[in-house]
Amino acid sequence: MQMPEPDQAAIAARPRLLAGLRAIVPADSVISDTASLGAFESDGLTAYRQRPLATVLPETTDQVAAILRLCQELGVKVVPRGAGTSLSGGALPLADGLLLGMAKFNRVLDIDLENRCAVVQPGVTNLGVTQAVQHLGFYYAPDPSSQIACTIGGNVAENSGGVHCLKYGLTTNNILGVELVLMTGEVVRLGGRHLDAGALDLLGLVCGSEGLLGVITEVTVRILPRPQSQAALLLAFDTVEAAGDCVARVIGAGIIPAGMEMMDRPAIHAAEDFVHAGYPRDAEALLIVEVDGPAGEVAESIAAVEAIAAACGATSARVSGSEEERLAFWAGRKAAFPAVGRISPDYYCMDGTIPRARLGEVLTRMAEMSRRFDLRVANVFHAGDGNLHPLILYDANAPGELERAEDFGSEILRLCVEVGGVLTGEHGVGVEKRDLMGTMFNAADLAHQERMKCAFDPDHRLNPGKMFPELHRCAELGRMHIHRGQMPFPDIPRF
């Protein structure tokens, strides 16, 4: 993975940067010694490491604005970081860049029940938002697996999902507004406590922009009343196809479960060995279907799903009889990543989305790749929305295995695109999938995205080297290649 060539002038400006930062924030909020910077050299994608020029931990919007202005003046790049849980290297530092840590923005500013929203600082964790409102009977719906650690600011930057997004949407569907600091230090507010934009929907553009457009300093999230009841079904199948068919028929019957998760045999075994959730070891595919809502509706939906599962040849079906049992069903799924971590020194988590109907074909071809690359793969799958998480097992200490795992991963993602899917469903492009963007987008598609970057940060100072395979100068992107044309398609009547 090639990051942009470090700018020697920016590196040379480090003493001025440090002095400038210490004039903006207390001295202990500027981290510059090599040992301490080691803590920031990587995020959740640990295969890539880079020490930043320095790390700064501001705690007010004014400080963030002053820091960005300083960096703009000095020509220093900035990489924003929430909790550093990105699985795509979104917070990977730059050798010539400042790491802007948002951890100190950790306060819940307002809980507004009348408008069913909460205003929080970006460093509040995802689960922290729910914890702040749960005593009032509310919760925040998007729930990425890293929710105890990941921050809401990072969730906005990555447009994070979770297991419940088929019914409740991703981050972009659950936020009302943000305060955003541009690279110039200018502070803009997008949205508020009302719905929709009164002009171009810049909030929708910023959500999922991976820290390339601005630094988020405040987020207004929608909160929802906690469902009256929840129940889950644990279904086992002899084939992945039968499980996939069951998912399609559930949705075809007009049921949108709160969550619908699938695991393949290797994932079932890893999870069962780890947490003893009572998963059937002889199943080829396991499906957890969760429904929520008023009690009568939940009972009705569970019965309907059970009948569909039986018709699809489920070899076992268990309904959670209690909250403990429901959580037990989930325990294995939620522990799937660490469970795989137990059976392999390292694993590499992929994140493509596919049209669900192609699942059988994709898994068959993935098994063939697994043989060819000589690396095991376990699959967990947000089956309702087609978001596939293949976990490639490898050993970073074995020569060549990391490279093989990466090649395997790239081939899986190319396959996702080939069958009509996309490179990333919820983890983001970051550095990881940056060079694969061309499999999904042509040069014109990418240029139209990059021009949005130019509208916010024309000098490419914010998080460069992420998302886009090549850094084009904004002047070059702005050039037009239109020839003086004749009247279009003159063969048809137009007047």
Q: Which of residues 141-160 bind other proteins (CB under 8 A)?
A: 158-159
In the list 4, 6, 75, 227, the residue contacting other proteins (rule: CB under 8 A) is 227
Residues 16-55 that bind other proteins (CB under 8 A): none
C-alpha to C-alpha distance for 360 and 239, rounded to whole angstroms: 9
Least Å distance, CB 397 to other proteins, is 32
Residue 79, SS3 per DSSP:
strand
Alpha-carbon distance 120 to 129, whole Å?
Answer: 8
Size of the site for other proteins (CB under 8 A): 105
Q: How far is the CB of 253 from other proteins (least distance, A)?
A: 8
Among 194, 276, 281, 342, binds other proteins (CB under 8 A): 194
Residue type, 438: G
d(CA 78, CA 55): 10
The stretch near other proteins (CB under 8 A) out of 76-84, 305-313, 337-345, 486-494 is 486-494
String marking each residue 381-420 x if it binds other proteins according to CB under 8 A: -x--xxx--------------------------------x
Which of 16, 189, 372, 473 touches other proteins by CB under 8 A? 189
Q: Using the rule CB under 8 A, which residue among 111, 205, 331, 343 binds other proteins? A: 205
- Of residues 319 through 378, those in contact with other proteins by CB under 8 A are 353-357
Q: Shortest approach of other proteins to residue 492 CB, angstroms? A: 7
Return the residue of 82, 122, 161, 409 that touches other proteins, per CB under 8 A. 161
Among 54-62, 73-81, 187-195, 330-338, the segment contacting other proteins (CB under 8 A):
187-195
Region of 70 (left: φ > 0; alpha: ψ -120 to 50; beta: rest) is: alpha
Min dist CB 181 to other proteins, Å, is 11
Tokens standing for residue 418: 């080939």
**Residue 396: HSE in the Cβ half-sphere, 13 Å Cα cutoff:** 9
Integer Cα distance of 60 and 66 in angstroms:
10
C-beta of 175: minimal distance to other proteins in Å?
11
Contact 41, 93 (CB under 8 A): yes
- The encoded tokens of residue 47 equal 């295969």
With contacts defined by CB under 8 A, name the span among 9-17, 62-70, 98-106, 162-170 that binds other proteins.
162-170
At a CB cut-off of 8 Å and minimum separation 6, what does 147 contact?
125, 126, 127, 162
456: left (phi over 0), alpha (psi -120 to 50) or beta: alpha
Pick the stretch among 231-239, 253-261, 264-272, 400-408 that binds other proteins (CB under 8 A).
253-261
21 or 221: CB nearest other proteins: 221
In terms of Cβ atoms closer than 10 Å to its own Cβ (0-12, 13-18, 19+), residue 400 is exposed
Q: What are phi and psi of 250, to 5 degrees?
A: -60, -50
> Which tokens go with 84?
């550093």
In the set 49, 51, 107, 226, which binds other proteins (CB under 8 A)?
226
Question: For residues 65-124, which are near other proteins according to CB under 8 A?
Answer: 112-116
Nearer Cβ to other proteins (151/172): 172
DSSP 151: B
Distance of CA 126 to the CA centre of its chain: 13
Whichever of 96 and 158 has its CB closer to other proteins, that residue is 158
